[in-house]
Amino acid sequence: MRRLSSAGYRVRQLRWSLCAQLSDADRRWVEDVLMPGERPLFERMPVYDQTHSVLVAREVERMGGDNLLLRAALLHDCGKVLPPHRVPLLYRCAVVVLRAISPRLLSALARPWGVLWPVYLHVHHPELGAREIERAGSPHALAELVRAHQEPSADPALRSLQSADAKH
């Protein structure tokens, strides 16, 4: 039953992604929250990832998250875009299906070359995003939150980021 409800959620998420938009007010808020060196990491994400990240960050804000956690929420998926490579929506769908039916095959396909680049980016985006954040000159603590955002954790801040991400 959980797989069916998860599949339904993913279908709704895909439909939502196709018509996602970011308001001017959200863009101004993002500019206020992120440091200047971090803004390009956010801006290069597709609008559906930007919108998702803003929803996650707003949820973290409602939970009482500090500025560092808000920045992590805004950048947690920035590793899905490493120009000229990105993870198109159809690859995201394929990754979700493969993760559910054969995690071993997904791992084998996650290679940084050719048509497999998007799979690689999706699977490894926490680490890749953390490296990009460090290159941008951001604090190590921010990179660590992004690096660990899909790993089990007892850290309350990280758990609130994970909860917000799962909700949106």
Residue 20 main-chain phi, psi, to 5 deg? -65, 145
User: Two tokens at 34?
Assistant: 């992120």
- pLDDT score recorded for residue 3: 44
pTM of the model: 0.90
The CA-based angle 144-148-152, given to 5 degrees, is 145
Q: Go through the domains of the chain in sequence order and give each one's CATH number.
A: 2-167 (1.10.3210)
Residues whose CB falls within 8 Å of the CB of residue 151, separated by 6 or more in sequence, listed in order: 126
71-104 burial, b for 16+ CB within 10 Å, e for fewer?
A: bbbbbbbbbbbbeeebbeeebbebbbebeeeeee
- pLDDT score recorded for residue 93: 84
Per-run averaged pLDDT (10 residues), the chain, 168 residues:
53 71 95 98 95 96 98 98 91 88 94 93 97 98 98 95 94
- pLDDT score recorded for residue 8: 67
- pLDDT score recorded for residue 4: 43
